[in-house]
Structure 1
């Protein structure tokens, strides 16, 4: 079976985590013996170059779709790929489309994304199969677009157990990152963009810092990420006098994230996006033994079991996040160890080797 994989996000050396879930699904299909021909876009910051690359990308999609013979056209991100695929469908009525929807496809993050919604709806209605990352997102998609198509759930390529695992010695992770072993660490890994909750975390840390909780408990916070709000982030860190609390890393390759997740005690996932279709970073942290304190929203509800493998807090609530951080650090060492074990147990369900059969089944049927 020959598959045409189409995605406007794909990892590169300069942006190793950009669309990594697309590569994860590609690897599963290749390992299963499918032939995959990909047409993808790498991250580009220059607006003019980005526009030119999108134009070439769209032309490639249409040209390949007309000239080459594929059994399935597999699309990641409906909003950004709807136009060329819908045009291709008009030119080739027999086109078999599998569409994998994510975050802003269904829940636009900014007003400018609303204009894509009519095309998203049309593409999903023309798709033979619609793939969603979580049960939460499946219900959202079905309800919003009133779909009668076949909808499948597959968790964004899953957790790579060769990369995300708990090390036998936490000290090795601390040394790799040049971190002081005398501190306790909270982790955050995400883009510094609207809705990712980095600002909610900083406001919570300010409150904890003002109350001397951070100093009394020897806590530092590792924040990994870059994005459009980087200047706002840096300004807020300075205004809140958190320079000695925050350790900021830019975007890191996945192997380095293994060290981050193994160095921290707990992972914070304060997203406010109703379109948070899964939240793979939370599962990757869990796979490394870090419980997650996450927003009660989106795909996080699929895997965070409150009080068992982490804590859920009221979305957007600074006070509730403060309380849940305090609650975690009030636990006994035995309770923390049990929470860590439960986090790993839940992440096990999402490991590539345990979910790849589902993706293979979707494509074989």
Structure 2
């Protein structure tokens, strides 16, 4: 079976983590014996480069779709790829499209994303199959678009166990690598400094936790990994809250470095406020390293986080509730924390790439039977 993979997000040497889960799904399909061709766009910077990049990408999608003999076109991100695919579908009605929807595809985060919604609805209606990362997101798609297209669930490429695994016995060595003081214990965050990611609620919640438990200032620090449009606001808020020494910042990291951070930290904090948080792969990556999570009670996170079993939940956008979660975690015994960490690890194994790859394969084999 020959598949054309279409995405406006795909890793490059300069941006190795950009759309890496798209690359993961490609690897899974190849491993399952499918033949894969690509029409993808790597990250561009600057308005002119982005405009040119998208123009070339759209032309490439239509050109390959018209000339190539593909059994299916597999698209990630409906919002930014709908236009060329709708053109292609009009020119070549026989083409079969499998649309994998994510995040802002269905729940726009800023006003400028609303303009894509009519095309998203059209594309989903004209797709042969829709893939969503979670049961939560499946429900959103059904409610919003009232589509009759069959929907299948596949968790965004899954977790790569060759990269994300427990390695806490080497924490001293890992801390030295990242120049972290071993006299502190660390909480952690991984994500863009951008709208809806909750980095500001985390800073406010962590500040409240330290203010309510001043003894923690001498033994607890927060690692925040990521960059984005709100970098300047992040640094300003960190300074205003007096957290410059307590909050350690790293820019974007490769997956191997993220795995090290997940192992160094005692608790991963996932403060997203996005209703379009279709799965939350970073939470599962942390859990795969045996690290429990304290996460917003929202989105696809609820598919895998069980309160007081493999993690804890707090009200989205509520720094005080986040602070209460940190205080509650602090009261647990070492054995209780280890027990939750082990449960987190066991949960993440259900999303490991080798475990789930047959699910993606089955979706495309089902498509073959629909001929």
TM superposition score category, shorter chain reference: over 0.9
Query: Could you say what secondary structure the match of 2:99 adopts?
Result: strand
Are 1:135 and 1:299, in contact at CA under 8 Å, matched by a contact in 2? yes
Q: 2: CA distance between counterparts of 1:271 and 1:215?
A: 24
Does the CA contact (< 8 Å) of 1:221 and 1:246 recur in 2?
Answer: yes
Structure 2 equivalent of residue 2 of structure 1: 2
User: What's 2:330 paired with?
Assistant: 329
Aligned counterparts, 1:1-365, within 5 A = 1-167=1-167, 168-213=169-214, 215=216, 218-365=219-366
| Cα shift at 1:212 | 4.2
Which has the higher mean CA deviation after the structures are superposed, 20-29 or 163-172? 163-172
Q: Say whether the 8 Å CA contact 2:217–2:246 is kept in structure 1.
A: no
Give the Cα separation in 1 of the matches to 2:336 and 2:206: 23
Q: 1:231 to 1:214 in 2, by over 3 A?
A: farther
Runs of at least 5 residues in structure 1 that lack an aligned partner in the other structure: none
Once the 2 structures are TM-superposed, how far is the Cα of residue 173 of structure 1 from its aligned partner? Answer: 2.2
Rounded to whole Å, the distance in 2 between the matches of 1:302 and 1:173 is 31
Spell out, residue by residue over 1:280-318, the C-alpha distance to the aligned partner (whole angstroms, 9 max, x if none). 000000000110100000000001111111100011111
Q: Secondary structure at the match of 1:118?
A: helix
Residues 16-72 of structure 1 show CA distances to partners (whole Å, capped at 9, x for unaligned) of 211111000000011111110011111112111110010000000011111111110
Per-residue deviation, 1:176: 2.2
The Cα shift of 1:206 comes to 1.8
With over 3 angstroms needed to count, the CA separation of the structure-2 counterparts of 1:26 and 1:203, relative to structure 1, is same
Q: Supply the distance in 1 between the matched residues of 2:292 and 2:317 (Cα, whole angstroms).
A: 19
Q: Which contiguous aligned blocks of 4+ residues in structure 1 show a shift greater than 6 angstroms?
A: none
The TM-score with structure 2 as length reference comes to 0.97
1:147 Cα deviation (Å)? 1.5
SS in 2 for 1:169: helix
Q: 1-side partners of 2:106 and 2:93: how far apart?
A: 25
Separation in 1, partners of 2:192, 2:17:
10
The count of residues paired between Structure 1 and Structure 2 equals: 365
Alpha-carbon distance in 1 for matches of 2:112, 2:284 = 30
Distance 1:246 1:187 in 2: 9
- SS of 1:299's equivalent in the other structure is helix
1:154 shift after superposition: 0.1
Runs of 5+ consecutive residues of structure 2 not aligned to the other structure: 367-371
2:299 is paired with a residue whose SS is coil
- Residues 77 and 105 in structure 2, CA contact (< 8 A), matched pair in contact too: yes
Alpha-carbon distance in 1 for matches of 2:121, 2:217? 53
Distance 2:37 2:292 in 1: 38
User: For the residues of structure 1 that align with 2:337 and 2:216, how far apart are their CA atoms?
Assistant: 20
Farther-moved stretch of structure 1 (175-184 vs 92-101) = 175-184
Q: Is the contact made by 1:177 and 1:259 (CA closer than 8 Å) also made in structure 2?
A: no
